[in-house]
Amino acid sequence: MIALSLAEIAEILDGELRPAGADSAQTVVRGPVDTDSREMTPGAIFVAKPGEVTDGHLFVDAAVAAGAVLAIVERPVETEVSQIVVADAVQALADLARAVVARVRAAGRLRIVGITGSNGKTTTKNFLARILADEGETVAPIRSYNNEVGAPLTMLRVTERTRYLVCEFGAAGQGGIAHLAGLVEPDAAVVLMVGLAHAGGFGSIESTARAKSELLQVARPGGTAVLNIDDPRVWAMRAVAEDRGLAVVGFGQGEGAVVRAEDVVVTASGTSCTVVHADERFPLQLQVLGAHHIGNALAAIAAAGVLGVPASVAAARLETVEIAERWRMQPMGNERVRIINDAYNASPDSMAAALRTLAQITGPGERTVAVLGAMTELGEYAGEEHDRIGLLAVRLNIRRIVVVGPEARRLYLAVVGEGSWDSEAVHLPDQDAAFEYLRGELRDGDRVLVKSSNSVGLRHLGDRLGELFS
């Protein structure tokens, strides 16, 4: 974080400053900000956020022992460091993030990119951060820090030297993206796709589209909207962008895209295409598996172009990215048994894309194996979407379908109903049972996809299988 006095922070947060020890209102702090006492380092600022399971106020002492020099709290606590008492710790995070980013932006060259979409946010964020890192100091979220806590924590990592801030915005309901993105008003607003991920929180895909369009409504006037021309709901958002005074850049495989892909090829060693930009045509060879990641790459190239990075330069940098993120199409195992651990998240769109990738990368004499868990947060769509994925798995001729957990039973029934039975499909109660089954079932030449929503936890099963066949 940038250097601020205790008095300045208290004023920004409309909080009550309680100095301790040798501190005064003029004492300056500039350490990192976090809500996790385990992440504290010398000079850090600890935000004691109440949670559903525990309360951050219980960990102030642990934070101080680890090096924290300031605690932001909702009630006074007994501690040896200064504290600022605020009405709402989460709101305090947002207020501090807004103020810090505004100061850095006013003082220097800071450019900000915001990314949203039902799928692909984290991969696109990582792609773009890789491109921009060679241009100057770049701050981007760790993992999927895209909610009301994670997004401000990312923003608070900017310093006077930061040139680029890449933000990822998710939301559990209407108004969430507008609130988070409104803290920084991105110069470039990237919308990837509108799908059924988290549909249970929005009620319908139309409501999801309205939520994603909030990013454009709070983007910096005079900035740029980077929109997926292949998704009709996203491309329709150009009207929102124009109302905001944004230029529009389309990406995708459709005609009219400013950054376009042709000749997409998916193999076990990666994904390739030809990128077309203006009068240029150049190859892109991603190490990351899956045709769906071409769209994420095009979005990153287009966003980087808004910031002045030539498309061919951006593409060359993307070719150095080995994996999108841990547990996202992550290759594991060995040449005999290859594991693709893609179980950090799952929606109907990402599940279908992963299954298609599995089918595409499996050659003659090799066997496809899909280990599938439930897709969560789909609300009323859950049943029919699990049915659809089960049907797709059979129609893609996936040779072994292993369904894990009671929440995914509907998927298994759809597989059986489509004609896959005997040893072709099994339903197992939990990860341990699945691991024991797969340990005896997998053989040389198997190509194995592990896919589920994060809360189901099959990523850990994928890790175990990767280690078993390493």
Residue 81 phi, psi (nearest 5):
-110, 165
Region 192-220 average pLDDT = 84
Nearest by Cα to 393 from 327, 339, 348: 348
What CATH number does residue 49 fall under? 3.40.1390.10
Of the pLDDT bands very low, low, confident and very high (cuts 50, 70, 90), residue 202 is low
pLDDT reading at 228 higher than 70? yes
119 is in an annotated binding site: yes
Query: Which residues, other chains included, contact 380 with Cβ-Cβ below 8 Å and sequence gap of 6+?
Result: 200
For residues 411 and 346, give the distance between their C-alpha atoms in angstroms, rounded to a whole number. 14
Cβ neighbours of 163 (radius 10 Å):
18
Q: Are residues 163 and 260 in the same domain?
A: yes
Q: Are residues 429 and 464 in the same domain?
A: yes
Q: Are residues 72 and 120 in the same domain?
A: no
pLDDT reading at 199 higher than 70? no
Burial 99-116 (b: 16+ CB within 10 A, else e): bbbebbbeeeebbbbbbb
Query: Which DSSP category does 26 fall into?
Result: T
Higher pLDDT, 262 or 325: 262
Instruction: Provide the β-strand partners of residue 219.
Output: none
Q: Are residues 107 and 45 in the same domain?
A: no
SS3 of 198, please? coil
Share of the chain above pLDDT 70, in %: 98
Q: Are residues 299 and 348 in the same domain?
A: no
For residues 309 and 133, give the distance between their C-alpha atoms in angstroms, rounded to a whole number. 11
What CATH number does residue 413 fall under? 3.90.190.20
Token reading at 439: 């340990």
User: Per the domain annotation, does 325 fall within a domain?
Assistant: no
Query: Which DSSP category does 118 fall into?
Result: S
Residue 446 phi, psi (nearest 5):
-80, 140
pLDDT per residue over 404-442, tens digit each? Answer: 999 999 999 999 988 776 678 999 999 999 999 999 999
Q: Are residues 308 and 446 in the same domain?
A: no
Residue 21 phi, psi (nearest 5):
60, -130
User: Per the domain annotation, does 245 fall within a domain?
Assistant: yes
Number of separate domains in the chain: 3
pLDDT reading at 172 higher than 90? no
Nearest by Cα to 350 from 296, 404, 305, 306: 296
Mean pLDDT across the chain: 94
pLDDT per residue over 211-224, tens digit each? Answer: 999 999 999 999 99
Position 17 scores a pLDDT of 98
31 is in an annotated binding site: no
SS3 of 372, please? strand
Position 200 scores a pLDDT of 55
122 is in an annotated binding site: yes
For residues 189 and 334, give the distance between their C-alpha atoms in angstroms, rounded to a whole number. 40
pLDDT reading at 197 higher than 70? no
417 is in an annotated binding site: no
Q: At what angle do helices 409-417 and 382-395 cross, to 10 degrees?
A: 40
Position 58 scores a pLDDT of 96
DSSP 63-93: HHHTT--EEEESS----SSEEEE-S-HHHHH
Q: Are residues 51 and 152 in the same domain?
A: no
Cβ neighbours of 281 (radius 10 Å):
12
Region 303-330 average pLDDT = 93
User: Per the domain annotation, does 152 fall within a domain?
Assistant: yes
Position 368 scores a pLDDT of 97
User: Per the domain annotation, does 79 fall within a domain?
Assistant: yes
pLDDT per residue over 288-304, tens digit each? Answer: 999 999 999 999 999 99
Token reading at 3: 């250097």
Using CA of residue 91, residue 95, residue 101, residue 104, what is the dihedral sign?
negative
Using CA of residue 351, residue 353, residue 356, residue 362, what is the dihedral sign?
negative
Position 326 scores a pLDDT of 83
| H helix intervals, 205-264 | 205-217, 232-235, 238-243
User: Per the domain annotation, does 449 fall within a domain?
Assistant: yes
| H helix intervals, 143-226 | 150-155, 176-181, 199-202, 205-217
Q: Are residues 299 and 168 in the same domain?
A: yes
SS3 of 274, please? strand
Instruction: Decide if 274 contacts 267 (C-beta within 8 A).
Output: no
121 is in an annotated binding site: yes
pLDDT per residue over 7-66, tens digit each? Answer: 999 999 999 999 999 999 999 999 999 999 999 999 999 999 998 788 999 999 999 999
Instruction: Decide if 374 contacts 405 (C-beta within 8 A).
Output: yes
Residue 460 phi, psi (nearest 5):
-70, -35
Query: Which DSSP category does 375 fall into?
Result: P
Instruction: Select from 258, 291, 318 the last residue of a domain.
Output: 318
Q: Are residues 197 and 292 in the same domain?
A: yes
Instruction: Select from 318, 343, 378 the last residue of a domain.
Output: 318
What CATH number does residue 271 fall under? 3.40.1190.10
Distances (CA, A) of 261 to 20, 254, 285, 309, 466: 59, 8, 12, 18, 32
Instruction: Select from 318, 343, 361 the last residue of a domain.
Output: 318
Query: Which DSSP category does 157 fall into?
Result: T
Position 195 scores a pLDDT of 83
pLDDT reading at 227 higher than 90? yes
123 is in an annotated binding site: yes
Position 323 scores a pLDDT of 84
Q: Are residues 259 and 124 in the same domain?
A: yes
User: Per the domain annotation, does 323 fall within a domain?
Assistant: no
Of the pLDDT bands very low, low, confident and very high (cuts 50, 70, 90), residue 171 is confident
For residues 298 and 284, give the distance between their C-alpha atoms in angstroms, rounded to a whole number. 10
**Sheet with 45-47: strands ordered across:** 16-18, 82-85, 70-73, 45-47, 33-34
Instruction: Decide if 331 contacts 291 (C-beta within 8 A).
Output: no
Region 131-148 average pLDDT = 93
Q: Are residues 253 and 107 in the same domain?
A: yes
pLDDT reading at 203 higher than 70? no
Higher pLDDT, 202 or 394: 394
Q: Are residues 305 and 189 in the same domain?
A: yes
pLDDT reading at 469 higher than 70? yes
For residues 346 and 377, give the distance between their C-alpha atoms in angstroms, rounded to a whole number. 10
Q: Which domain holds residue 391?
A: 330-468
For residues 242 and 384, give the distance between their C-alpha atoms in angstroms, rounded to a whole number. 36
User: Per the domain annotation, does 456 fall within a domain?
Assistant: yes
User: Per the domain annotation, does 138 fall within a domain?
Assistant: yes
Region 111-133 average pLDDT = 96
